[in-house]
Amino acid sequence: MNKWILGARLRTLPAAIAPVAVATALAGSESALLPALLALFVALALQIGVNYANDYSDGIRGTDNDRVGPIRLTASGIASPQSVKRAAFISFGLSAIAGFALAAMTSWWLIAVGAAAILAAWGYTGGKNPYGYIGLGELFVFIFFGLVATVGTYYVQVEEITLDSILISIPMGTFSCALLAINNIRDRALDGPARKKTLAVRLGDRKARYFFAALIALGYIATLLLLNPWTLLTLLTAPIAVVLVRGVLGDVQGGALIPYLAKTGKLQLQFSILLSLALVLSHG
């Protein structure tokens, strides 16, 4: 497979697609196709940019030298650090262009929001003081891949922010955080010695696993707060979530957690599809 496709980590893309799909379903008949497509492009380009940026920054720091999981372009030597960095900046640039178009259609304030998102994407592992190395990764993921991505997508289509748009952003954020959380639980034993103090390192193994379970549970609770009977459809994924959480709360370590990362991504996708369907039906 092409090295740049590997580096883009396509399995992470549902985290970018889900908030756009759910927000568009909430917008219903008021949704606008072009803004929705542009929002999707922005989200995908940002996600790919983050993946390349993390590959570059962790690679040059040596954090990825003994990493398990997906292949790293920089650490493995498959691609030069500068070419990976360039790929990240190209992705961010494409995201900025689409974001500028969205701002021109709706509000120029979106430029500031987009700039903050790009800075946050780079600052996770990049720069002198990456926030991902001090345990703030999940917080920023919740803000930008949950709240901003969902509410922002809804806003560019209907030009207003509602309580429901905020509520549906919560499960989008918590499931994205769960993806990062399980990733960091997997890498905890290696991140500590590498001075990468992720939340999993700070909490310790057992508490980090309980935190993962809490993120999944919060996603369901927030959805029920919509007080929309159609959203009960999302409970069809509950048995999958229970099996997933029970597995993570076990004693599986290191590379053996990789399948749980994939299962978390599938759960997010299935949950988002059902939530989107529920929101469409509620407009019925």
Rounded to whole angstroms, the Cα distance separating 100 from 279 reads: 28
Rounded to whole angstroms, the Cα distance separating 270 from 276 reads: 10
Q: Over the stretch 134-172, which tens digit does the pLDDT of each residue have?
A: 999 999 999 999 999 999 999 999 999 999 999 999 999
Residue 118 near residue 46 (C-beta atoms within 8 A): yes
- Which among 176, 181, 178, 154 has a CA at the least distance from the CA of 166? 154
Rounded to whole angstroms, the Cα distance separating 271 from 93 reads: 31
Q: What percent of the chain has pLDDT over 90?
A: 72
Q: Over the stretch 71-84, which tens digit does the pLDDT of each residue have?
A: 788 888 888 999 99
Rounded to whole angstroms, the Cα distance separating 207 from 211 reads: 6
